[in-house]
Structures are given as C-alpha cells and as structure tokens.
Structure 1
C-alpha cells in the first residue's frame, strides 16, 4: 500500500487509507451527541479511578486524567472547546483533547472499555438526569391543575362521553383527572429510571474484558443500583431508550388530550375558558381573531414525539446481537422528543395559570341534554326496579321530553308517575344538577365531598398542604 495516506484515526492502525471526507461527514455524530459531554466526562473519571485502584494505571496517571477531564469540561462550559467533526463523536473528541493535554496517560483512559459500552453508559447517565428533570416538570403541571381545582371548587359543568353531554360533574373533578394522568406518567417514568440505572460499563466491545476491572466500584462511584448481567445484551441494548420514548409519548399524548379540550372550550361554541392574551396569537387578515395556538402546537408536536418512538423501533427491530452502527441513530430521536416534551410541560404549567374558566357558561351548559337521566334510573333501582327495566322507563320519559321540547325536571309529578308509580315527590331533588353531582358518592366520584377528599390528598402528595 505504499504511497497511500494512512488513516490518522485513533482506531486506524489497520487502515492504509485516510477516511473519505464524505464518510466523515455522513457518519459524524458530534453535532448532536456533544450534549453528552458532562456525562461522558463523569463516566470517564469513574473509569480512571477504577483503573488506578486496580493497578491498571498508576495513581499519578489517574489523577492526571481526572484533572485533565475537569479542565476540558470547564472549557466546554465556557464555550472555548472546539469540537472536531473528523473525530466523529463526543468520546473521541474528549479523549483526543485529553491525550493532547496530558500526554501518554490520556491514551490509557480507554483501557478495558469500548465505545460500545461507553456510549451506553453516557446515554444512561444522561437519561437518568432527564428522568429526574421530567418528574419535576410533571409535578409542577400537577400543582397547576391542583391550584385550578382549588380555585374552582364547587363549579359545575357538563361531563361528556362521545363529545355529547352525559352527566353533570364538578369542574374540579375534571381538572383532577389530569392530575391522575400525570401521576401515572411519573410512576412509569420512575420505573423506566430504575431500568436505566444499571451500569453497562465493563461489557467492553461485546464480550467483556480479560483485564482485572471492578465494575461494582464504578457502579457505586456513579450511583448505579446494579450492573448489567450479559455483555452481549449490554452493548446492543436500547430498551431503556425505547422505554423512555414510550414514557415521553404518553406524556405528550396526555398533553394533546388537554390541548384538544382547550381548543374546543375556547371556541365561541363552548366559551368555557378564556386563555390569557399573552398565550394566544391573532390572525394576519381577520382582526377579531384570538387563536389558541399553544394548545394547537402542543397537539401537533405529539406527531413528532410518536415519530421518534416509531423511528427507533424500526432502527432496532432487525439488529442482530451485539453493537451495530445503526444504533448511532438512537440519540437524535430521544433528544428531540425530550426537548419537545419538556418544553410542552413547561408552557402547560404557565398556560393553566393564565386560563380563566367561564363559571356562568359552565353552569348554564349543565341545563339541557337530559343529563340527570341516569339519576332517574338509579332512583328507580333503589326502589327495587331492575336496572334494565328502569333504563327503559327513563328512555320513554326522555322520548316524551323530546316531543315536548322540555327537560326532565320540567315534567310534573303526575306526568312522571304515568311511566312508573315508584316515582315520588322527592324525584325533583334527584333531577337537579346539584342533587345529581352530590349523589355520586362512590370512591372516585364527582360528589363534592369526594372531590374535596381527592383534592386534599393530591395537595398533600404534592407538598402543597
């Protein structure tokens, strides 16, 4: 191979030619994985301490490596570090800078590890921190809902099924439903974090290492709860990233459901909410418009978060054990989904604090639609009429009301008794909105006493009490 330019890559010993510029441009990941610098350095420091402890490098070399990495991290944070695309990724950029800075000791840092287990480590460290950040954001959104539920305690509204008026409920009950959704998100995220929090370093390229390393020491240094059990599984595993993307998807989908309601409720047809002007936009042609762009954007961004999950699923679906370069495609998807969901959560908390519910309109909307029909059926059941028969009786009463264009409560006692002699004068309390709401005393129901209990429990759980 005389006369050809030998590769200058840190892995290029067996290559007789320099990497093509097009290959360098196509395969570089530094443009997005640079955000892993803190976690890469954190992992490398723990690895260096372990190497020194095991006698694989000297104590002096270990100290030099840790000091050099500390200086490099400071350079990155003040914007003085120059990332080089030809060095491919965050790992090689930092290792090359370290070797240039401290000499041969820097070249010993990669002892007993591969970029295969190193990137897995960096990614897990990063996602562990992001899981904590997401949990904090979810908690703030829950608090915003709880504050709104407290402000509007006692306000009634129509509950919907199939987007048709179904039964009257308390607005606070509706708002607390989202607290429960986001609580499940937090619990899922906590479970995901447990599976992230397992040390992969020590798997090396895919078969482990013959050098006398101490994986448990590194796990303790980095706060991992356990170490991975199979080196081949470890280097090709991205289940933790897929699980994080799934958690992100459910969070964003819950935000999208909220967004749909805010879009509907802010329309003149509903007029249930008024979003603060600072969180809306206008029309370039229609001067009267006030558009709920933030909820619409949040609803729209759900597609990109779901797309990220689908993309990574398709990336890993056909991969044989162990590491394959395809896995470089994991981080962009996760980074974008994380950025999107975190931004959505942050602005949701703001949006809720700047949204006013139209109490009068909500109250008025509970009149009409025969929303206390189920209460009438329950009334008959309490008098020993089988539910299916009660259902039929009430259905016939509703049909009469439709013919007369009136509501259930507009019928006289005599008219109601034509359908069942079990109906007595107390039926009118049952047919009222307040009577309906406060009859829903089952655990988790919308009766005011149950909602007050639920709100108090939520406030205590969130540290608001």
Structure 2
C-alpha cells in the first residue's frame, strides 16, 4: 500500500496489519464508487477555479486527467487495488503523479468525508434510477400478460385455502401494480436524497467561500445538505432510505416467487417455469427444480441483513466516526445482488407457461358462494341473511361456471373490470422523459 495521504511524519511507522484493518474492504468497495468520486472531483476542481483557488488552466488540466483516469478505469487499464488505501487516495495519487503541484491542490476545501458522502449519494441516485427502470420493466411484462390472459380462470386462495374464482388477469395485474408502487417509491426516495453534501468537509465547514451551489448544480443535485453536522449524520441514514425502496421491491418479488413456487408444484400443477431458470438434482433423475425462483424468493434476506447492519452501526453521536466506514459493505452488497436478481424477473415472467385446464378444473362449486350471496343482496336481501342462506345451499352452485363468475365481477379492479389502463397510466407517468 502506498503511503497514506493523512500521514504527517516520516518518523511514524504504521504497521501493515493495522493499515490493512483500517482500510478494511474500502479499496475493493470503492471500485463501485470510483466513477462517482471522479465525477464529483471534476466538479469540485471547477468550483475551486470559480473562487480563485485554481486557475482555469489548472482546473482544465485536472479535468482532463480525471477523464483519462475514468477511461483507464473503465477499460481495465487502471486497477484500484491494495496499492491504495481507498478510491480517494487513488484519485489524488493519479493527479499528483501526472500534474505534480497542481494535482496536490485537488483536496483544498474538502475532506475524504466529503468525497465518500457525495460519491455514495450519486451512487444511490443512480441505483434508484435503475430500480425504477427494472420495476417498470417487470410491471410492463405483467400488464401485457394481464391483457392477454385476462379471462383465464385461476382458483383464488386465502389462508392457502380455496376462496373464490379468480383470473390470471387479476393475478398479473396485482403484481404489476405492486411493482409500479415500487417504482413510484424509488422515484420519491430519489427526490428525498437528491441533495449534495459536498463542501461540508469534515463536518464543520471550511474558511473558504466554496461555491457549493454551483458544484451541486453541476452534479445535477436539486439542493444542498446545508448543515455540515447534518451532512455527517446523513451517512448511513441516506443508505437506509435507499434500502427502503429496494426492500419494497424485493419484498414484492418474494411474494411473487412464493406464488410461483406453489403453482409450479405437482400438487398445484398450474404453471411451468422456463427450463432456463431451473436445474436438476444431483441424485434424483426425475427432478426439475425452479431454483431461480427459490433464490429470488431468498433475495429479500440480503436487503434485510443490510438494513440490520446499518442500523447497528448507526448507534453513534454527532460528528464523523470511523464506524461509518462499515456502512458501505452492506448497502453496496444489497444493491448489487438485489438489482441483479430483479433484472432477471421480466425474462422469467415472460416465459411462464400456464396449464389452463388444470386451473379451471381446480375451481370447486363452493367457490361461487360469495357471488351468489351478492346476487341475493342485489335482489334486496341483507348481506348477513344472504350469507346464511347460501351457506346452507352450497350444493345449488354446481351449475355455475368460472367464466360467468369472472365476467360478473365488475367492481373496479375485479376480474370483469381490471382497470389495467389506470395502472399503465401510473407506470407511464413514472418513466423519465426522453433526454433526461
């Protein structure tokens, strides 16, 4: 590892084992954050030029070298490895090696706390954009299948017991609306987090007239985190809010995966999961296991675990504490794994094959009881009297059909009036405008 940028005296030797412990996983984790750190450094340099701490030529040279670093990193020509303490020191080392004294000026008016706070904020905004896009892609597949399979009968269940006749249209629309809700939450939380902490330094501000507003605008932030103490307190808290959005989506994914796990079992036999998402058994030749569905079902645990780690770390007083370094691993892990799994869902859902005959034959006459009770209510009977009468006359429901039951369910959102256009309109409103 190169000499740390905070070392003040050549006479003080920091043991290698201590340095490794202090650095932790930073140099590996910062590979995710380095592009955002570079972007913020470029804006910071231009801000320094606007207040006279860098000349325009120096700021231009720093910008060109940061572009070169970004390109080298993307191409794999520059590797963030254990030569460096973290991504921040790597940026400064690159600039100093190429620009000498000019490169050393990049850290004026900022702290590594600044760098990680703004890089994490930019990272979270980017990942929330991805979450929104993936959730809308899932909803789109579900809506398209709801339209095509609106009238396909599916036994409805409560308490894992047969309840009323339902439809694939209603099932698909329910999951579609859930993921539209998740996209909406990602957008709202993104708006909440869209504030720049850059320029608050170590939590006390600096005696330089930094152009915080101009730098924030250049980085596409809507506003500032104004108070330096609050900027430090946002570490971990901002990540928790972003995980709220991810957790909502993986929670809905878990429920959907549970449905598919049950429906794909031989006992139900309602659906066949695409072979590309299944594996076999190493000992049982007959097995065809929907492993991808089961691992998607487990994905929520990664997010819940990340939240637990963050909550545990954040039992801290005001001001920066080195404990905050340990907020990075769980949030980066959760978003990497969570978005990877969610991105598989459109392909999985698009390839499902339903056993229409099996689903229709699973609907028993007793499932029409609520339909009949509501018919009696429409004829003037009180619901409680209708409820009791139908309960005593279940055998009279034998002649009913799933198709008639679904068509008659005309309350908005019900099987006969799915309201897909309303769900789609919400989804369309959440998509970014062209060019955004």
CA contact (8 A) 2:155 2:166 kept: yes
Q: Find the partner of 1:341 among 338, 344, 353.
A: 338
Say whether residues 1:230 and 2:227 are aligned partners: yes
CA contact (8 A) 1:141 1:348 kept: yes
With structure 2 as the length reference, what TM-score do the two structures score?
Answer: 0.93
How far apart are residue 262 of structure 1 and its match? 0.8
CA contact (8 A) 1:24 1:86 kept: no
> Residues 137 and 101 (structure 1 numbering): CA distance in 2 closer, same or farther, change over 3 Å?
same
Partner of 2:420: 455
Q: Find the partner of 2:369 among 370, 373, 379.
A: 373
> Residues 397 and 183 (structure 1 numbering): CA distance in 2 closer, same or farther, change over 3 Å?
same
Instruction: Provide the C-alpha distance between the structure 2 equivalents of 1:344 and 1:374, rounded to a whole number of angstroms.
Output: 39
CA contact (8 A) 1:195 1:240 kept: no
Q: Find the partner of 1:305 among 296, 303, 313.
A: 303
Say whether residues 1:396 and 2:392 are aligned partners: yes
Q: Find the partner of 1:383 among 379, 400, 413.
A: 379
How far apart are residue 175 of structure 1 and its match? 0.5
How far apart are residue 104 of structure 1 and its match? 0.8
CA contact (8 A) 2:274 2:352 kept: yes
Deviations 1:49-84 (A, max 9, x none): 010011012222111211111111122122122434
Instruction: Provide the C-alpha distance between the structure 2 equivalents of 1:130 and 1:302, rounded to a whole number of angstroms.
Output: 17
Instruction: Provide the C-alpha distance between the structure 2 equivalents of 1:303 and 1:244, rounded to a whole number of angstroms.
Output: 16
Indicate the larger mover: 134-143 or 382-391.
382-391
Partner of 2:396: 408
How far apart are residue 460 of structure 1 and its match? 5.4
SS at match of 1:192: helix
CA contact (8 A) 2:131 2:246 kept: no
Q: Find the partner of 1:325 among 322, 325, 331.
A: 322
Say whether residues 1:208 and 2:205 are aligned partners: yes
Q: Find the partner of 1:446 among 410, 415, 422.
A: 415
How far apart are residue 345 of structure 1 and its match? 1.5
**Aligned residue pair count:** 425
CA contact (8 A) 2:92 2:104 kept: yes
Q: CA RMSD in A?
A: 1.9
Deviations 1:360-409 (A, max 9, x none): 111111234x11111222222223332222222222334xxxxxxxx432
Say whether residues 1:25 and 2:25 are aligned partners: no
Per chain length, whose mean CA-contact separation is higher, i.e. which structure has more relative contact order (CA < 8 Å, sep 6+)?
Answer: 2
Q: Find the partner of 1:280 among 275, 278, 281.
A: 278
CA contact (8 A) 1:145 1:352 kept: yes
Instruction: Provide the C-alpha distance between the structure 2 equivalents of 1:409 and 1:31, rounded to a whole number of angstroms.
Output: 65
Instruction: Provide the C-alpha distance between the structure 1 equivalents of 2:259 and 2:191, rounded to a whole number of angstroms.
Output: 34
SS at match of 1:322: coil
CA contact (8 A) 1:236 1:324 kept: no
- Which runs of 5 or more residues in structure 1 are unaligned? 1-6, 399-406, 411-427
- Which runs of 5 or more residues in structure 2 are unaligned? 430-436
